[in-house]
Amino acid sequence: MSLELDVSTLHYSKVNRLLREAILEGEKEIVLKGVNGHRYLAAGVSANVKIDIYGIPGLDLGAFMRGPVINVYGNAQDGAGNTMDEGKIIIHGMAGDVVGYAMRGGKIHIKEDVGYRVGIHMKAYMDKVPVLIIGGKAGDFLGEYMAGGVIVLLGMFSRYPERPIAGLFLGTGMHGGTIYIRGKVKESQLGLGLKPYALESEDEKLLEELLKDYARDFGLDPSEFFKEDFVKVVPYTHRPYGRLYAY
């Protein structure tokens, strides 16, 4: 049994209210149809529910959320997964800017391209290790200030074959976490002091596991991903401000 709602004529606030009411009544699967720029869907929802979204959700999809598994059958606008804590967002299209800002846990899987400032200040804590996988290409400042977690950039399903896999300043100021990039990335595109490194066996094991899950979400063959080598970008220091001050 799942609840299906046509939200095309409803304000986002109303949609969220209906969502929360349904969850409170024990609904485990909710389908939202006619989503068209509705902001903050499932923001702050703390429950293990499945939400299917048909259309294009607006700003801050699933912000601060803890638990829901959201499938977006379409593109998503800016701020998906903003400061999310747990759960999963699967976007069967493209996503806008600042996806996964400061996310602390859970997963975001995006089939195609993303905009600018994606994965900024992702962090990890104890058993919470957030994962952000991008099937297409990314704009500038991917993983800026990254403090923990994993970003995987595949560059495979992009609408922009002429563009480089990532924009400029990738990983600028990162002091934790790992960014994996399929294929090659020019050093000039990385943030100050960063270098691409070859993968070690633990990296390969982790990537295999993460990409298997990603492939399952989109019905892809996971072996395709490994037809090209990956590189990884890790912080050159965990203490970027260690020797900055005079006392």
Partner 1 sequence: MATPQFAKFYPDFYIERDLDKCIKCKKCIRECTYGAHIWDEKKKILKEDHSKCVGCHRCEATCPTGAIIIKKHPSAFREHANWTPWFIKNIYKQADQGGVLLTATGCAQPFKNYFDHLVLDACQVTNPPIDPLREPMELRTFIGPKPSLVEVEEGENGKFRLKKPLPRNIQLEVPIMFAAMSFGALSLHVHHGLARAAKELGTLYNTGEGGLHASLYEYGSNTIVQCASGRFGLHVDYLNAGVAIEIKIGQGAKPGIGGHLPGEKVTEEISKTRMIPVGSDAISPAPHHDIYSIEDLRGLIYALKEATEYKKLVFVKIAAVHNVAAIASGIARAGADAIVIDGLKGGTGAAPTMFRDYIGIPIELAISAVDKRLREEGIRHRVSIIASGGIRCSADVVKAIALGADAVYIGTAALIACGCTMCQKCYTGKCPWGIATNNPELIKRLPPEVAFEKIYNLVRAWAHEIKEMLGAMGLNSIESLKGNRDKLRAVGLTKEEMEILEVKHAGE
Residues found near partner 1 in the complex (CB under 8 A): 12-13, 16, 20, 39-40, 43-44, 46, 59-60, 63-66, 78-79, 82-83, 85, 98, 101-102, 104, 117, 120-121, 123-125, 128, 141, 144-145, 147-148, 173, 175-176, 238-247
**Closer residue to partner 1, CB minimum distance, 37 or 183:** 37
Nearest to 151 by CA among 195, 202, 211, 91: 211
Structure tokens at 174: 């990162």
Backbone angles phi, psi at 227, to 5 degrees: -75, -10
Closest approach, Cβ 144 to partner 1, in A, equals 7
Structure tokens at 139: 């704009």
Which parts of 149-233 fold into alpha helices (H)? 201-218
Quick check: 222 and 211 in contact, CB under 8 A? yes
**Closer residue to partner 1, CB minimum distance, 12 or 214:** 12
Closest approach, Cβ 1 to partner 1, in A, equals 25
Closest approach, Cβ 116 to partner 1, in A, equals 10
Q: How many Cβ atoms are within 10 Å of 231's Cβ, its own excluded?
A: 17
**Closer residue to partner 1, CB minimum distance, 98 or 156:** 98
**Closer residue to partner 1, CB minimum distance, 176 or 222:** 176
**Closer residue to partner 1, CB minimum distance, 50 or 175:** 175
What residues contact residue 131 under an 8 Å CB cut-off, 6+ apart?
A: 106, 107, 108, 149, 150, 151, 152, 210
Closest approach, Cβ 234 to partner 1, in A, equals 14
Closest approach, Cβ 119 to partner 1, in A, equals 10
Calpha distance 50→241 (Å, rounded): 42
